[in-house]
């Protein structure tokens, strides 16, 4: 019976334990370049079995918030090299989350002030975060334009280039962000995808961009260095689909064929209720995992959303999951693994310093003495 503290190898990546730092947007990378303080922040948390970086834009077009990092310029890659060196020096493993926001953006963040791109020209009822004179704030997302068929290969190529850049910058692998209502999720779910071509309509069409992107990434860096994050029922960023179970079981069966390092599932509403549902019936996560396993999927199963130590221990000990990702607890507890091990009290995260700012609420949470 494995415990949270046992090592595990996921794909090509050996991990010291099964406690993962979830991807967490922190908006502290002006001009999309990670600063030295970001290396400090991740290195402080390197005792996690695996660190997943904050979502990181694969292209300027993929950018949707102020001061989030990118992975498409030399300067950005040099910033990330500092991060991967610091994490590895501290004995950790780190993958970068590859992100294209699709319609969750704003003209002021897009190349030449253009419209954000999406499967269909349907505006999300969602907000983004913009820089401002007083430190920034939330603003409604802009009206998107529908991507032309002839633009999709360029987006796939951007993912491929970003995966290569990630390995060149020293990351142990990548996590494809296919969750939370961003571009790939916008294609998957019928609320945001009204296309009538090969990328819209039936589930297999809506999943086409996802599989093309995974084909490209795994060809470039290997499936053993590739993970993916999905969020079958989250309403985040206006994501909606009345039938998530067949949609995501189809996705799970597709994923099984790749030999991925891991599949990362957000259960319920991201950062919110674990029992959130879309459609009429509760989502069956065990059936999702079974669909993956029955189709030959061998990757580690990573779960996330509102786990505490007891819930996480139960998930790993019963085999419901191989890995558990923690978000807010890792913001406030750089030594979360030790605190779990020693059943020590946890620091409380300050949600006023989650997005934007400097070292306050970022690198100044105390570790145990
Ligand atoms: C919070 C704020 C901005 C972005 C996600 C990348 O939900 C995000 C995100 C979260 O996946």
Name all residues whose Cβ lies below 6 A of ligand 1. Answer: 25, 55, 65, 180, 236, 270
Atom of ligand 1 nearest to the CA of 55: 6
Using alpha carbons, select from 161, 171, 163 the residue that is nearest to residue 13: 171
Rounded to two decimals, the pTM is 0.98
Strand 262-266 and strand 226-230: the pairing is parallel
DSSP secondary structure letter of residue 70 = B
Q: Which one from 41, 182, 258, 285 is the annotated catalytic residue?
A: 182
Atom of ligand 1 nearest to the CA of 229: 11
Cα separation, 183 vs 291, whole angstroms:
24
pLDDT (tens digit, 0 to 9) for every residue of the chain, 369 residues total? 899 999 999 999 999 999 999 999 999 999 999 999 999 999 999 999 999 999 999 999 999 999 999 999 999 999 999 999 999 999 999 999 999 999 999 999 999 999 999 999 999 999 999 987 666 788 999 999 999 999 999 999 999 999 999 999 999 999 999 999 999 999 999 999 999 999 999 999 999 999 999 999 999 999 999 999 999 999 999 999 999 999 999 999 999 999 999 999 999 999 999 999 998 899 999 999 999 999 999 999 999 999 999 999 999 999 999 999 999 999 999 999 999 999 999 999 999 999 999 899 999 999 999
Using alpha carbons, select from 250, 248, 241 the residue that is nearest to residue 279: 241
Q: Whose CA is nearest to atom 4 of ligand 1?
A: 25
Could you confirm whether 182 is annotated as catalytic? Answer: yes
Strand 173-177 and strand 145-146: the pairing is unpaired
Distance 180 CA to ligand 1 centre (A): 7
Tokens of 25: 């947007």
């Amino acid at each position: 019976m494995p415990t949270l503290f046992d090592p595990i190898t996921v794909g090509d990546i050996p991990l010291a334990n099964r406690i993962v730092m979830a991807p967490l947007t922190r908006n502290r990378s002006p001009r999309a370049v990670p600063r030295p303080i970001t290396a400090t922040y991740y290195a402080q948390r390197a005792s996690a079995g695996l660190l997943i970086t904050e979502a990181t834009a694969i292209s300027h077009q993929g950018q949707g918030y102020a001061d989030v990092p990118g992975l498409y310029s030399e300067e950005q890659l040099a910033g990330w090299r500092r991060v991967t060196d610091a994490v590895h020096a501290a004995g950790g493993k780190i993958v970068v989350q590859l992100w294209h926001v699709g319609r969750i953006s704003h003209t002021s963040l897009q190349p030449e002030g253009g419209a954000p791109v999406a499967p269909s020209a349907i505006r999300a009822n969602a907000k983004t975060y913009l820089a401002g004179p007083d430190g920034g704030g939330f603003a409604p997302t802009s009206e998107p334009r529908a991507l032309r068929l002839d633009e999709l290969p360029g987006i796939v190529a951007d993912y491929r280039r970003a995966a290569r850049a990630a390995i060149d910058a020293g990351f142990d692998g990548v996590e494809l962000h296919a969750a939370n209502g961003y571009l790939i999720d916008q294609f998957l779910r019928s609320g945001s995808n009204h296309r009538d071509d090969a990328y819209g309509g039936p589930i297999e069409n809506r999943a086409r961009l996802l599989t093309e992107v995974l084909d490209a990434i795994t060809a470039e860096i290997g499936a053993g260095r590739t993970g993916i994050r999905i969020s079958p029922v989250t309403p985040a960023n206006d994501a909606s689909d009345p039938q998530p179970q067949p949609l995501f079981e189809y996705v799970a069966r597709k994923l099984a064929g790749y030999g991925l390092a891991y599949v990362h599932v957000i259960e319920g509403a991201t950062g919110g209720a674990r029992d959130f549902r879309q459609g009429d019936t509760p989502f069956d996560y065990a059936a999702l995992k079974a669909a993956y396993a029955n189709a030959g999927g061998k990757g580690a199963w990573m779960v996330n959303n509102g786990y505490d130590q007891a819930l996480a221990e139960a998930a790993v000990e019963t085999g419901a999951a191989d890995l558990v990702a923690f978000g807010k607890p890792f913001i406030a507890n750089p030594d979360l693994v030790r605190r779990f091990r020693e059943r020590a009290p946890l620091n409380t995260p300050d949600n006023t310093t989650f997005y934007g700012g400097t070292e306050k609420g970022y690198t100044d949470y105390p570790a145990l003495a």
